[in-house]
Every structure is written in C-alpha cells, then in structure tokens.
Structure 1
Amino acid sequence: MTDKLPYAEVIGDPIAHSKSPLIHNFWLNALDIEAEYKKTHVTPQGLAAYFLMRRADPDWLGCNVTIPHKIAVMDYVDDPGGVRERIGAVNTIASETGGPLIGTNTDAGGFLQPLLRDKWKGQSAVIVGAGGAARAILFALTSLGVPNITVMARDPAKGQALLDRAGVKGQAIGISDALPKADLLVNATSLGMVGQPLLELDLAPLADCATVYDIVYAPLETGLLKAASARGLKTLDGLEMLIGQAALAFDIFFDAEAPRDLDEELRALLLAADY
C-alpha cells in the first residue's frame, strides 16, 4: 500500500487499542479493493485542525469516530439524515471531494445486529453510560419498542437528560446504585477497557434469562462479562457491535458490501491480534 491510495480512518483519544483498521483492511484485502484504513490519534483540542487538514486531502474518504468525539464532531459535519435530532451522536463521517462532510451513525445498527440475530424479545433494559455510544444504543432499543429503559450514569441528571431528549419515559439512576430487574444490561462506557477502572455491578437483580452486552472489546472478556457468565447469563462481547457498525461504515467509505460470510475468520484474526 502507498500513501496515494484512497483511505478512511478511525479517530479517537485514545486510539492505540482500536481494532477497526484490522477489520476494514481484512475486508479490503478479501475484496481486492485498492484502498486502506488507518487509525489516527486526535485530541479534543485538535479536532478543528484535523478536519481542516483532511478536507484538503482528495484521497480521504472519511472517518469513524470513537471516544470521546462522537458528540463534538457534530459541529463539523452536515446532517441530512437528522442524526443530531434522532440520536445526538455521530460515529461515521463521509467525505466527497469538494462537497460537505456528511455525518451519520452506524453504532445503532451495529448494536442491534446480534439482538436481532438472537431474536431478543426483552421488555426492560439498563444502559450504563450517557455518552455518544449510549445515545445510539438508546435510539436502537427504542426502535425495538423496549418499554422500560433505565440509564445508569455518574451524573443521573445527565442520564435523565438523555432520556428526555429521546422522549423515553424511563428512569435515570447513579452508576453506584443497585441494578433494577432487567432483561438486558448494556455497558456503553469505557469502564473495563484496558487502562480504565473496572465496571463493578451486582448482577443479582437481573432476570435469569437476561443478556449482558459489553461494547468494550479490549479486553474482549471484560470483568462484567466474566461475572455474567458465572451467573449463567447470556453474554454478547464488544466485537459484535464493532464488526456490525464497521460493516455499515465500510459500505459508506468504499461503496462495497462487507463480506460477512468471513466473520468467523475475521473474529479469529481479531482474537489473535496483540493489543
């Protein structure tokens, strides 16, 4: 590969842990597409300069956005799909030479894919977190018609604002409060990620048939998922959402459908990667 190839990338702070380049480059190689996908460290203070520089690069196809930029990047993009109003966070930005940057969100669709695959039919869910990922997940769960949603956040007022903004009549509680009974628990924070504090919750209130879904993927088996497995609960790891949202973004960047028939091989590659 050369620097002259068309490319997309993922930006975040931190970014070293990201497995997105491995995923997208695996698909590009499988489809024999002459392009590449990178990762670039961008601090909150560097966002404006980053977009100014990339707008001038005709080979730049766009970027995925991870922690902590999913809300802040909305100030730099056009929003023809109404993502700001419907979700309130952007994780995928597409660039067309000479045109505007288009912001969208593939997190919601990527999050839903394993739940739809497993025909999940729960009536109650708990989301831990109130940031950009939590916004997409709340949108996804409301699209499924889940009637009872609780947001756990360090600042319950921020969690309540998230619910109010989405028009959801749920409840917001503190992150150290007791879990309510629920059919689904989702960790939408970075807690449990390598280098971050653990997310320590007493899972006893969860229903015996509950699913625990952790969007953290480094490490893949987080402390939360270990605790859920020990209780005999169904678990979904962070690669589920990561691969799902990446597939939607891949189509946007490279105008090609990701070869999802190779998911087993891709997952093995991701698990073998030294992160």
Structure 2
Amino acid sequence: MRMDELLKGAFQRLSSVSDTAQLDAQLLLAHVLGVSTSYFYTWPEKEVSAIDVERFYTLLVRRELGEPVAYLLGQQSFWSLDLEVAPCTLIPRADTERLVEVALTVLPKNKVARILDLGTGTGAIALSLAVELPQSTVVGVDLIEEAVALAKRNAIRNRLDNATFLQSSWFDALDACEPFNLIVSNPPYIDPDDEHLSQGDVRFEPKSALVADNHGMADIEHIINIASNFMAPDAYLMFEHGYDQASYVQACLIEAGFVAVESFQDLGGNDRVTIGQYSVKK
C-alpha cells in the first residue's frame, strides 16, 4: 500500500477520537518506518511493506482505543530534551514547561545551586533545569522505582551528569543537613472525583501520579508543611497545580511562613505555577 493512501485511511479512522488525527497518523507511521514525518511529503507514493502495514495497524488500533501517542512511541519531547516515556509515570506536557521557565527566573545561570524535584517521573523538570543550570546539582525523587530507573535512563540519553535520581516518598530519603536553594514539584493535584480522569489520555496514566485527597491538595499541603526543613535561607518552593487551585496554594504557603508568594499563568492564561520564598525568622 502507498504511504499517502495508508495515512489517508488512518486519518479517517482517528478523526473521531483525536484532535490531532493527521499528526498522530504521521508520527505512528514514521515510528514504524524509522523516518521523519517530512519523508511523507517527499515520497508520498512510496510503497509500504505488508509487515510494516501490519505493525502500523496494530499501533493504530491502540490509538483508536485512546492510548496516548507518547506511550505508543515510547518517547516525548520536553523543553530541549528527548525523553523516554512509559506507563509507569505521567507524559510530560507543555504546561509543565512553565514551571521550568519560572524556576529559571529565580536562579541565575551562573549560580551554583542545589535543586530538588519532588515526584520527578520521567525526570523532565529536573533534567531541563540541569541543562539550563549546568553549574548546579539537581536531585529528583520519585516513589515509584520504575520511574526512578526511567529518569536515570533519560539523564544518560540526554548526556547530563549533574542530575541524580533517588527513590523516595517525598523527603523521606533526603538529608536535611544538605539544604536546597530551590524545590520544585508537579505533584498529584486532581480531585479523585474529577470527571476528566475517565476521559482522554489520562485514562492510561497512573492514578497515583494524578490524584490526591482533599480535593487534590493533600500532597501539596504535605510538601509545604515539611519543605522548610530542607531549604537554605531565601530558597524558593514552587508547584505546578490545577487551574483553580492558586489561591489555596498561596494561602498554604503564607500560613507556613513563606514570603514573596506569587502565581504565574500557563499558555492558556490559567494560573498554573505558584511560588514562595523561605524566610528564616530572626
């Protein structure tokens, strides 16, 4: 079958289940053939072998059932990185890049800092900061052993040696005698009863990385209550959170004694990142 005919049929099949049906089809076929998507515009009449057609249709059926393209490909781009992804953790999303951007506004590139990423998953945030702050040391922790192994592979994949990854339930495996200048986290923040958990890509992502008690706020509250024990003077704590949670996160930070509390919007104009600075009481 010709590539253009194969892609046309795939687009028709995916158009009812994906807003990016054409791109999805191209990415899946490019993955099967080991080419870039630009290849399809150069050689649209190229014949695809029966074996590759079968492999493509296998992926197509999985995508029709809603499985995320990133899981089907086993990779996802984030910041300037090429990351391996797997169902043991969340797929890095563009909105999370906002957390990286905000972090870079509080830590100059020439600063030698210690940075902690709580709930690191693929290592996306930790490794992005390691790229941009090469003189700093970045530590990423995750409760899931498979996620820690995945983050370590991503560090090797992107040739980064200033980031290390540990298995830990938040701060449990860390030494308070080695404080951090910046703590970042994209923790679970979705209400367990949120209807969106049964829709779209998140159906295939681990609920443990998405859901938190107390209307999605339990893990953020836990981190805020403990974080100061692991922070250097004037260090920053920052979170990604839900679009409607900024005011509550701000209130929790202020109650815990943080200053310079502020929220930042994502590309869609929603409050997405909230930060606070640790102030040592004199």
TM range (shorter): 0.3 to 0.5
Higher helix proportion (structure 1 or 2): 2
TM-score relative to the length of structure 1: 0.47
Higher alpha-carbon Rg: 2
TM-score relative to the length of structure 2: 0.46
Q: Which has the higher contact order (CA 8 A, sep 6+)?
A: 1
